[in-house]
Amino acid sequence: MKAINWKSAPSPSYVVDERLLKRNLEILDSVQQRTGCDILLALKGFSMFSTFPLVSKYLKGVTASSLFEARLGYEEFGKEVHAYSPAYAEHEIDEYLKYIDHIVFNSFDQLNKYKEKIQKLDKHVSIGLRVNPGYSEVETALYDPCAINSRLGIPFDQFRPDELDGVEGIHFHAMCEQNSDVLERILPHFEEKYGKYLHQMKWVNFGGGHHITREDYDIDKLVDLINYVKDKYDVQVILEPGEAIALNTGYLVTTVLDIVKNGMEIAILDTSATCHMPDVLEMPYRPQIIGASTPNDKPYTYRLGGMTCLAGDVIGDYSFDEPLKPGDKIVFTDMAHYTMVKNHMFNGVNLPSICLYNEEEGIKVIRQFKYEDYRNRLS
């Protein structure tokens, strides 16, 4: 595979490699072909709509968690649009229903509030309920859909079987960046509580958190689990990974602006953890850098900091083969998902450019941001 010439990329910029994205999509489509399941792009993880012509060749549609995501999926993806929200605002529901084919409710009260409106539509919108299986293995509470007192999904002690009229599907989400063995342990908890109701459903949605395109992911086990549920309950199985679509397909290209010293050498970059890769602080996690290693593994160790005035805007400590100097390019890996969809302009810091790469065209700039993008978000 031809190497990317990072010198040709604007800085800072997100660069998505179409070759790697296609590889992921082929893996996901192989699961669809072996099981007949539907895999959706969760827009909350990856919404780079310039890639939708490619993504839509492989996946069945998108899943949205807001009105704007639903509209984006409807206008730009051109296939099925599924929606789930912890609650739907009354002033938005009519526009929502213009765009979507499936809608999942988080409570029976919301279901009963909007069911009649949905059933009177000229088109069919399939109705589902999100339930909480009461079991998960997510270590970070911020990302655990089944944490104690979670607002996501109907707990079993609040499930109302006598109010399922018009409901065609059940949705659960109990994973985050995990392998199929975790799903294997979740399913018995889900089946014990909700299995008997699946027989009257048309579909079941396994939610997200499936790291299907990760190198060590057990795809055969996932295929077996999907086929088991599909055959036992005669339902269509849906998965909606956001991260697996764009996992390891993108980069954040940055530049060293200055080197300062305070107990150690600190490199100030033209990027920001809080603005451009917020999961570094929220998750938290440590992004990888091409050619860099852990502190003190290589001869020269630096703390990499962002350009905002937030004291904690620190990406982490890394070591390099050569001393860093202003003007050096630093390229972070796995920066396609949960970056563009979460970034912001705190401190008036501009957003990275958005680029695509393929071997025919090289790095192609899709979007650059200006002062007006910052100003127009404010009042």
In a domain, 206, yes or no: yes
- Both 45 and 74 in one domain: the answer is yes
- Both 294 and 225 in one domain: the answer is no
d(CA 79, CA 75): 9
Model-level pTM?
A: 0.95
Final residue before a domain boundary, out of 227, 245, 263: 245
Final residue before a domain boundary, out of 245, 274, 298: 245
In a domain, 27, yes or no: no
Query: Which of 221, 338, 239, 229 minimizes the C-alpha distance to 29?
Result: 239
d(CA 49, CA 341): 11
Strands 300-305 and 265-269: parallel
Final residue before a domain boundary, out of 196, 230, 245: 245
Q: State the pLDDT at residue 285.
A: 87
Number of independent structural domains in the chain: 2
- Both 58 and 184 in one domain: the answer is yes
d(CA 288, CA 274): 17
Nearby residues of 111 by Cβ (< 8 Å), 6 or more positions away? 105, 127, 129, 163, 167
- Both 330 and 212 in one domain: the answer is no
d(CA 275, CA 373): 14
- Both 86 and 227 in one domain: the answer is yes
- Both 149 and 195 in one domain: the answer is yes
Question: Which CATH number does the domain housing residue 261 bear?
Answer: 2.40.37.10
In a domain, 23, yes or no: no
- Both 236 and 256 in one domain: the answer is no
Question: Which CATH number does the domain housing residue 42 bear?
Answer: 3.20.20.10
Q: State the pLDDT at residue 284.
A: 85
Q: Phi and psi dihedrals of 106, rounded to 5?
A: -100, -5
Half-sphere exposure of residue 122, counting CA atoms within 13 Å on the CB side?
3
In a domain, 1, yes or no: no
- Both 132 and 190 in one domain: the answer is yes
- Both 194 and 69 in one domain: the answer is yes
In a domain, 24, yes or no: no
- Both 193 and 309 in one domain: the answer is no
Ligand-binding annotation for 279, yes or no, is: yes
Q: State the pLDDT at residue 38.
A: 98
Left, alpha or beta for 141 (phi > 0: left; psi -120 to 50: alpha)? Answer: alpha
Q: Which domain holds residue 276?
A: 6-14+250-335+343-376
- Helices 219-233 and 18-35, interaxial angle, to 10°? 40
CA distances from 334 to 21, 217, 325, 366 (A): 11, 17, 24, 19
Q: What is the mean pLDDT of each run of 10 residues along the chain (379 residues)?
A: 93 98 98 98 98 98 98 98 98 98 98 98 98 94 92 97 98 96 98 96 98 97 98 98 95 98 98 96 92 98 98 98 98 97 97 97 97 97
d(CA 98, CA 359): 39
Ligand-binding annotation for 243, yes or no, is: yes
Give, for 357, the enclosing helix (H) or strand (E): strand 353-358
In a domain, 151, yes or no: yes
Tokens of 242: 């956001």
172: β partners:
131
CA distances from 70 to 48, 78, 170, 308, 313 (A): 14, 11, 20, 32, 32
In a domain, 28, yes or no: no
**312-318 CB contacts, 8 Å cutoff, 24+ apart:** 312/274, 312/281, 313/272, 313/273, 313/274, 313/275, 314/273, 315/269, 315/271, 315/273, 315/277, 315/280, 315/287, 316/280, 316/286, 316/287, 317/264, 318/289, 318/292, 318/293, 318/294
- Both 226 and 297 in one domain: the answer is no
In a domain, 22, yes or no: no
Alpha carbon of residue 243 to chain centroid: 4
- Both 123 and 139 in one domain: the answer is yes
d(CA 206, CA 131): 11
Query: Which of 132, 201, 207 minimizes the C-alpha distance to 169?
Result: 201
Give me the helices (H) in 242-300, please: 243-246, 273-276, 279-282
Give me the helices (H) in the chain, please: 18-35, 52-55, 67-72, 93-99, 108-119, 180-198, 219-233, 243-246, 273-276, 279-282, 371-375
Alpha carbon of residue 286 to chain centroid: 17
